[in-house]
A and B are shown apart, each in its own frame.
Chain A
Amino acid sequence: MRLNLLGQLLSHLSPRDSITSFTRHVIFAASSPTNVSTMPPRLRLPHFSAAPVRTFTSHQHPPAPAYTPLESTLLSTALQHVPAHGFTTTSLHLALRAHNYPTLTSSAFFPRGAFSLILFHLHQQRSTLKDRIVFPSSSASTSSSDKLRSLIKTRLQGNVETGVAERWGDALAVMSLAENIPESLRELARLADELVYLSGDTAVDTTWYAQRAGVAGVYAATELFMTTDKSSDYEATWEFLDRRVDDMEKLGSVTEGVGSYLAFTAAAAGNVLRSKNVKFF
């Protein structure tokens, strides 16, 4: 089970071939406009075509399901209801009503229900991370693992700032339902890509898999720890994060994190379902 999940994650992380980062950069730069124009209109993300082409990392995966302006509006409003109502269809319904759409439209706008809302949050957080990150002033001399530490912290603080941190345990439970696992892992892989890219690490060699899996592992373990952290301002979480990053530096990789993360989330899903009298395991 654990190995299998790890395998799935690695398959999302793996570069498709062994061309160098430079060629990949050029190829994607050349091919992305074509991709954009052949996409259905609703999939075109204005900022996708406008964004300067960086390195291959940000194009490693097909563009995440993008959102039309209306979808973004509705989902942003729904997110504002999450602190009070959780990642639930209630939050989605409240958003629809606020924008004069009947709640009957819920399954047409959000075919995956609460999971649609979770994915939107993940997408928002990931795509705005590059604008929110502020590295310590002596940036040039900061090591990439220090940057990684700041990046993961900034990303997780996004959950606190948007008021969803208290609800994140439920979100993880929904993410680990069988039908949602593939997309959840894909999103974790995209985040790992982004974290590695923003930390300035451009290595393309045999450490490629280990490094991304390691980053995904550190992130996942810390996010999980955070759901049970009762310390003020999540101090215990940031300490936990420090230790995981140190471990990664010492050991080269921390792949166990992903395994325990998914094992835990599966168990958490079991608990949520049991509490609703649904038989799971």
Chain B
Amino acid sequence: MATRSLYRSAAAKRLFVAAPRCARLYSSGSSGSSNSNAADKETHFGFQTVKESLKASKVAEVFSSVAASYDTMNDVMSFGIHRLWKDHFVRSLDPGRKPGGQPLKILDVAGGTGDIAFRMLDNAAKVHHDFETSVIVADINGDMLREGEKRALAAGYLPSDRISFKVEDAETLNTIPSNSVDLYTISFGIRNVTRIQEALKSAHRVLKPGGVFACMEFSKVSPAPLDAIYQQYSFSVIPLMGQLVAGDRDSYQYLVESIKRFPSQQEFAQMIRDAGFLTAGRGYDELTFGVASIWKGIKPLEVKK
């Protein structure tokens, strides 16, 4: 795997240099809207404390700068196993039209370059012979979406009605109607969102009753000795790898710190319940000793007020 990603990194680096750093262009709209009710609140950007209004644009900057070398970044962050996690995530949801059911409307938030969306379309097509299930890929960052669109064209998902790309802030999901979505996914995106509870509320709003919320994110490693090793790896090795393979230490530093700041598995499960979702058992499943976890929730059929 090391040889493969290093090999790929040469190409990624070239692409990366060519990728425009036009983050502000795409984030101005959304940070403008979150400004209105949070004028001077502070939030954290990695371990730096920044004005909430600035976080969105800082996050956008990170992802604009890694848009093209995005796969390299994921390999570095997950020891190369993010592909397996994503496969598992999608397989466990098994999206697609079931006998006697309808095709699904899926919303993949922070969908970036389409990794999850493509897998879901493949599952629908290959497992259920369903070519009608559709995915909206929503992301705050236009660069990431454009990279996704490029890949969708190359892989033959476009042109078609099966996939579309939309610039959207997870906190508001302004153009997504209420009760319109069967499945809401967010993979390695939620920790970048400024106000997580707002994003959960919006997820609840857009889902149909009986709809499923599914989130995959880096999480807390246990047991403790493993956590110590992991902390060591993530704080020293990951930014260094970022420097070496993508020429971008700062973005990787941010990613590592944002993982550390994200709530624990249990806390996040509680936030999901607080937003009105049902969860089973403790509400999450850990992957690879908790390096990442999957949380799922169900919007109840009768919404209790």
User: Interface on A for B, CB 8 Å cutoff?
Assistant: 40, 42, 65, 68, 70-71, 93, 97, 100-111
Q: Known: A100-B301, A109-B298. Contact between A42 and B212, CB under 8 A?
A: no
**Nearest CB of chain A from residue B93's CB, rounded to whole Å:** 6
CA distance A20 to B101 in the complex (A): 58
Interface presence of B221 (CB below 8 A): no
- Whether the pair A108, B280 counts as a contact (CB closer than 8 A) is yes
Q: A97 contacts which chain B residues (CB < 8 A)?
A: 100
Can you identify 5 A-B contacts, CB atoms within 8 angstroms?
A65-B281, A104-B211, A105-B210, A108-B298, A111-B296
Indicate the size class of the contact surface on chain B: 20 to 34
**Nearest CB of chain B from residue A125's CB, rounded to whole Å:** 20
Q: Known: A107-B94, A108-B297, A109-B298. Contact between A101 and B281, CB under 8 A?
A: no
Q: B40 contacts which chain A residues (CB < 8 A)?
A: none
- Whether the pair B210, A108 counts as a contact (CB closer than 8 A) is no
Main secondary structure of the interface of B (DSSP, over half): mixed
The one of A65, A70, A100, A107 in contact with B92, judged by C-beta atoms closer than 8 angstroms, is A107
The one of B95, B273, B297, B298 in contact with A101, judged by C-beta atoms closer than 8 angstroms, is B298
CA distance A42 to B281 in the complex (A): 8
Q: Known: A40-B270, A100-B210, A111-B285. Contact between A105 and B279, CB under 8 A?
A: no
Contact code string B208-238 (vs A, CB < 8 Å = 1, else 0): 0011111000000000000000000000000
CA distance A42 to B277 in the complex (A): 12
- Whether the pair A104, B212 counts as a contact (CB closer than 8 A) is yes
Q: Which residue of A lies closest to B266 (CB)?
A: A40
- Whether the pair B92, A104 counts as a contact (CB closer than 8 A) is no
**Nearest CB of chain B from residue A180's CB, rounded to whole Å:** 14
Q: B94 contacts which chain A residues (CB < 8 A)?
A: 104, 106-107
Interface presence of B275 (CB below 8 A): no
**Nearest CB of chain B from residue A101's CB, rounded to whole Å:** 5
- Whether the pair B210, A102 counts as a contact (CB closer than 8 A) is yes
Interface residues of B in 166-210 (CB under 8 A from A): 182-183, 210
CA distance A102 to B183 in the complex (A): 11
The one of A100, A103, A107 in contact with B98, judged by C-beta atoms closer than 8 angstroms, is A103
CA distance A106 to B93 in the complex (A): 8
**Nearest CB of chain A from residue B101's CB, rounded to whole Å:** 7
Q: B92 contacts which chain A residues (CB < 8 A)?
A: 107
Q: Which residue of B lies closest to A107 (CB)?
A: B92
The one of B182, B214, B270, B296 in contact with A102, judged by C-beta atoms closer than 8 angstroms, is B182
CA distance A100 to B211 in the complex (A): 11
Q: A93 contacts which chain B residues (CB < 8 A)?
A: 98
Q: A40 contacts which chain B residues (CB < 8 A)?
A: 270, 273, 282
Q: Which residue of A lies closest to B278 (CB)?
A: A70
Interface presence of B104 (CB below 8 A): yes
Q: Which residue of A lies closest to B94 (CB)?
A: A107
Counting chain B CB atoms within 10 Å of each CB, the highest count among A40, A97, A102, A106 belongs to: A102
CA distance A267 to B278 in the complex (A): 38
15 further contact pairs, Cβ within 8 A, besides A42-B279, A108-B280: A40-B270, A40-B273, A68-B278, A97-B100, A100-B301, A102-B101, A103-B101, A104-B104, A104-B182, A104-B183, A105-B210, A107-B296, A108-B279, A108-B296, A108-B298
Q: A100 contacts which chain B residues (CB < 8 A)?
A: 210, 301
